[in-house]
């Protein structure tokens, strides 16, 4: 006696879809590892990633409130307040009164904070540059194309 399954098995995925999924998984793992390795290169202050991110945001966007920084980093305001306080204690940011709202503060990057961002970026660039120097011209050309493709993917 044969039984018929009420739910037939799903159609096999196309070769392209399977290949895309495999590529996506490989890229996800590889990019995550590369990011972790790059982030291991830190400036003299040895900041955590969230602390460094705050300094980088302030350098790029200028003075702002802890609330805006929290929104930017998608974290709770109390967590950002602690991060900003820690950075202020180390002299990397300055907290000033808000010009129109006495309940708020404006967080600004200090010269020491700017130097920390520059040093961290210099170390990260130096680490990656040393790895790239060991590649041949063809591999570097492939990476140049890959960088452009990744820019397009992340822009959408």
The stretches of the chain forming alpha helices (DSSP H) are 15-39, 49-61, 66-73, 77-89, 111-133, 137-155
Boundaries of every domain in the chain: 44-155
Question: CA of 35: how far to CAs of 32, 61, 141, in Å?
Answer: 5, 23, 21
- DSSP letter at 103 equals T
Per-residue pLDDT of the chain (156 residues; tens, 9 = 90+): 445 555 555 555 556 777 999 999 999 999 999 999 999 999 999 999 999 999 999 999 999 999 999 999 999 999 999 999 999 999 999 999 988 877 889 999 999 999 999 999 999 999 999 999 999 999 999 999 999 999 999 997
Is the domain defined by 44-155 classed in CATH 1.10.10.10?
Answer: yes
Q: pLDDT of 78-105, one tens digit each?
A: 999 999 999 999 999 999 998 887 788 9
């Amino acid at each position: 006696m044969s039984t018929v399954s009420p739910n037939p098995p799903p159609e096999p995925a196309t070769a392209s879809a399977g290949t895309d999924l495999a590529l996506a998984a490989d890229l996800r793992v590889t990019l995550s590892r590369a990011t972790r390795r790059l982030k291991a290169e830190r400036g003299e202050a040895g900041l955590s990633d969230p602390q460094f991110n705050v300094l980088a945001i302030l350098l790029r966007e200028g003075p702002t409130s802890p609330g805006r920084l929290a929104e930017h980093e998608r974290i709770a305001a109390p967590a950002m307040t602690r991060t900003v306080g820690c950075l202020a204690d180390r002299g990397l940011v300055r907290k000033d009164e808000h010009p129109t709202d006495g309940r708020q503060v404006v967080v600004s990057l200090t010269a020491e904070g700017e130097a920390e961002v520059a040093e961290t970026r210099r170390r990260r660039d130096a680490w990656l540059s040393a790895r790239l120097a060991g590649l041949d011209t063809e591999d570097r050309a492939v990476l140049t194309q890959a960088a452009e493709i990744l820019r397009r993917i992340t822009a959408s």
